[in-house]
Structure 1
Amino acid sequence: MKLTTVLATAAATTTTAVIGSIASQDTNSRWYRKLRKPGFQPPAEVFPIVWTALYADIAVTSAVAIDEYTDAADFAGRRSYVASLAANLVLNASWSWVFFKWHRLLPATLLAAALAASTADLTRRTAEASPAAGAALAPYAGWTGFATILTGRIRQLNR
């Protein structure tokens, strides 16, 4: 893994984390506290721990994949991968704004589903470049799938 690549992917994931965190500061808002939540929702303390680990995972595994495409001189594959990563990170950061800032439960559920699909695709692309990196990114796909179910259930409980 090249230092310049991992610095670039770390900067991209850090930016995503900061943008999402700004919106997520409303987790103690009156609106959020009044929402009915399902029993399977993890405690609030779990989310920053999980997301920090996932952002680090995304940065490292994406750097590995980008370098694999570059080393194979597959520049079209590299461009496609970088575009897929960028779209994924935009979806990722957007969810917090739609849910926490704008209180839009149906759009947040749809956005979570789009993020889960994007993450599954990113994991597949990563695995094509490096099977080990793809396996390491799989928890991100699992977590975004879980987030879709959780967001959908919160919407269902709060119609």
Structure 2
Amino acid sequence: MTNGLRHRFPSIDLRTLIEVVGFVVLVNVLGSAPGVVFGPDSAWFRALEKPWFYPPELAFPVVWTLLFTLLGISLWLVWRADSGGLALGLFVVQFALNVAWTPAFFGLESIVGGIAVLVPLVALVCATVYAFWRVDRRAAVLLVPYLLWVTFALALTLEFWRLNPA
């Protein structure tokens, strides 16, 4: 391989690969755990009027697996930089809110509870993107699809609230 190509596509050693895969698996396991207990299979959720832009059910596990994978890689990049104390702290807080959304919405059967989690989540994801940008721009860019999706989730949840007044 020429030096130019080697610089663009550096080789990845086994330890690095194991670290990245570990971060990806950890984020996917923690992120998807609430969905094992709570989910859209309840009679309450099935009875709700769905917004016209509600995606097909299959979209959710596919999108979340992709997003959690991007989050894992992004988190690894910032962790590896070893200078992301604030960035890592913001990630943990926003991720905890992300994980709390499923029990708040599905577990408590509360649209308002879902909104109460999503509003600060969107703000914290914005702050996390900014903090990651200061540490590793690639890590920040990897969070943009996640920011778009949680913003979409907020719009979707607000529309659930409008269509299903309590």
2:57 pairs with 1:44: yes
Q: Structure with the greater relative contact order (CA < 8 A, sep ≥ 6): 1 or 2? A: 1
**1:18 alignment partner in structure 2:** 32
Whichever of the two has the greater Rg, that structure is 2
Shift of 1:7: 5.5
How many angstroms does 1:12 deviate by?
4.1
Report % sequence identity: 23
Aligned equivalents of 1:52, 1:142: Cα separation in 2 = 15
Structure-1-length-normalised TM-score: 0.85
| Ranges in structure 2 where 5+ consecutive residues have no aligned partner | 1-11
**Does 1:124 find its partner at 2:130?**
yes
TM-score normalised to the size of structure 2? 0.82
Which protein has the bigger helix share? 1
Aligned residues: 151
Tell me how far apart the structure 1 counterparts of residues 74 and 161 of structure 2 sit (CA, whole Å): 32
Q: Does the CA contact (< 8 Å) of 2:86 and 2:131 recur in 1?
A: no
CA contact under 8 A between 2:28 and 2:65: conserved in structure 1? no
Unaligned runs of 5+ in 1: none
Q: Which has the higher mean CA deviation after the structures are superposed, 108-117 or 46-55? A: 108-117
Conserved 8 A contact 1:37-1:157? yes
4+ residue runs over 6 A deviation: none
Q: Is the 8 A contact 2:20 2:73 kept in 1?
A: yes
**RMSD, matched Cα:** 1.9
Q: Secondary structure at the match of 1:41?
A: coil
TM-aligned CA deviation for residue 4 of structure 1: 7.0
The equivalent residue for 1:101 is 107
DSSP-derived class of the 1:28 partner:
coil
